[in-house]
Structure 1
Amino acid sequence: MEKLKEFLNSSPDIQLRAFSSVFIVLAIMGGVILGGFVWDVIASAAALFSLWEFYKLQSPRVHSSLLLVMGAAVFILFGTSLGLMDLTAILCSISAVAFIALFLEVMRRQVSGESDALASVGATVGGIVYIVLPWTFMMLIRMREHGAMFLLTLFFCTWCCDVAAYFTGSHFGRTPLCSQVSPHKTWEGFAGGAAASLMCGGLLALIFSFPPLPLLLLGLLCGVAGQLGDLGESVLKREAGVKDTGNIIPGHGGMLDRFDSILVNGTLAFVIFELVG
């Protein structure tokens, strides 16, 4: 207990980080359990804030329409929430966004003599696919049978992976994982995170009395792919020259910083859910 008190006193930000973490966990768990409108609002808010941060990362370097980006995101998210869009309609909407972004660059070149179509179309569609689509997948998962269980497994496995990777890497890490992207990550931490996520999936299968294979597979994929998603977001920040994508979450940074692993894991969860469903 004394060591814990010394640790808290020696780290001024740790209590703020801990409070923020507890709030996030409770909000996500409550949203998943309640489902419906509550979960859709939480997922949509996370997607829109993350997309705004992504836009800020690339906006100094790439010309793209904020109105188009955010408008398309709202259209897809709320259309999905209201049951007006299935996966086919969502993909068609993304294709339409690409063409709209391209035509805007045609008009900009006609008016100003300048355009940046390749980068602008890529950044616009990239933000929708990278951020909005995974959160949309998680909304679709929750609407189906066993959806709450799959989402809880997804989040708990991802969180277990993050915690285990941090502590394993801090105490046993010796071999750099990707030093040019994230100097503090190690292979030992990567292995510890993946193992913890796998065990979490198995434990939740027992708790939920559900066939273990799908949740074990989800746990393994979350443990591996989630850490790759974290490295992917680190690349974006390094290219943009920033430490955090924002400051909306006290002690953690931006929404994208907090949910970077969830994006790739949410997509994988949807694929697994479709296969076992």
Structure 2
Amino acid sequence: MLTRIITGVIGIALAAFVIQTGGTLFAVFALVLALLAWFEYVRAFAQRGHNLTFVLGLVALALIWGCGWLGNAEETMAVTTVAVLLMLLLSVLLHGRVTFTDAALSVAGVLYFGMPFSHMVLLRMADGPVLASPIGPFEFGCAMIWIMFIGTWASDTFAYFVGSAIGSHKLCPSISPGKTIEGFGGSLVGTTAATAGLGVFFGFPVFEMACLGLALSIFATLGDLVESVAKRETGIKDSGNIIPGHGGVWDRFDSVLFTAPIVYYFAILVLVNQ
């Protein structure tokens, strides 16, 4: 537990520095996280005898990230299309070594990690007004990244504590036996309130932010369940041990993979155009 706490404190401090700095530092960190998560994903499925297209996946993730950094949707579409077709084509060119299932799992992994982390970069770079807050001004993209992370963490935290205190009805027992309906209810209420509070803090419309909080709770839970399904499929408990006491990158960012795109489109469609 002590290791988990120490690692958590260091991780939060590092995250705060990277988020506040933004720019190239934030983008590079997002790329590193995507590549590490991909490595964990490939290793997990290798335990079930799958031979995923590791190197091509690395290249595809780097290119998708680069397109996100440039903010070019057409290039993103082109790179993604070529990467998907090439990975599927390897089941023909390397028939016997790479099965169609291996290629399909590779495509799923590259899209699963590449698109959300690219959206995270886009979110941090999003244009918008400088926001006044009780502790000083925030760039729009910086504020939205904080909302994404705090909302996601709030979902996990409220679900854990409420579920531990009063949880008795299983939410998805065949996928994640520890999750309860009561915990999910606590997540819905707590995340909605926390995100609405962030709306007050940054001067955003409270009702719209409360709606975002509700969506964050739902999608954070779904993101966690998706990784749980993958873990059951591959027979692993943790995706890695790179973060002492917390598992791997995939473990720590499974919910964020689902919430990052949600917050990005909310930001550009609701807040920027309000």
Give TM-score, length-normalised by structure 2.
0.89
Aligned residues: 258
- The letter of the residue matching 2:32 is A
Q: Displacement of 1:223 after TM fit?
A: 0.9
**Structure 1 residues 177, 105: CA separation in 2 closer, same or farther (over 3 Å shift)?**
same
Paired position in structure 2 for 1:39: 26
Q: Displacement of 1:103 after TM fit?
A: 2.2
Paired position in structure 2 for 1:91: 77
Paired position in structure 2 for 1:6: none
Paired position in structure 1 for 2:251: 257
Paired position in structure 1 for 2:133: none
CA contact (8 A) 2:53 2:103 kept: no
For 1:73-92, list aligned pairs within 5 A: 73-81=61-69, 83=70, 86-92=72-78
Structure 2 SS opposite 1:37: helix
Work out which of the residue numbers 100, 113, 123 in structure 2 matches 1:141.
Answer: 123
Q: Displacement of 1:211 after TM fit?
A: 2.0
Point out where structure 1 has 5 or more consecutive residues left out of the alignment: 1-13
- The letter of the residue matching 1:15 is L
Paired position in structure 2 for 1:68: 56
Q: Displacement of 1:79 after TM fit?
A: 4.2
Point out where structure 2 has 5 or more consecutive residues left out of the alignment: 129-139
**Structure 1 residues 120, 173: CA separation in 2 closer, same or farther (over 3 Å shift)?**
same
- The letter of the residue matching 1:130 is Y
CA contact (8 A) 2:52 2:98 kept: no
CA RMSD of aligned residues (A): 1.6
Structure 2 SS opposite 1:235: helix
CA contact (8 A) 1:64 1:101 kept: no
Question: C-alpha deviations, 1:10-47, integer Å up to 9, x for none?
Answer: xxxx1111112122222222222211011112211111
For 1:230-245, list aligned pairs within 5 A: 230-245=224-239
Q: Displacement of 1:120 after TM fit?
A: 2.6
CA contact (8 A) 1:20 1:249 kept: yes
Structure 1 SS opposite 2:94: helix
CA contact (8 A) 1:137 1:267 kept: yes
More moved, 171-180 vs 138-147: 138-147
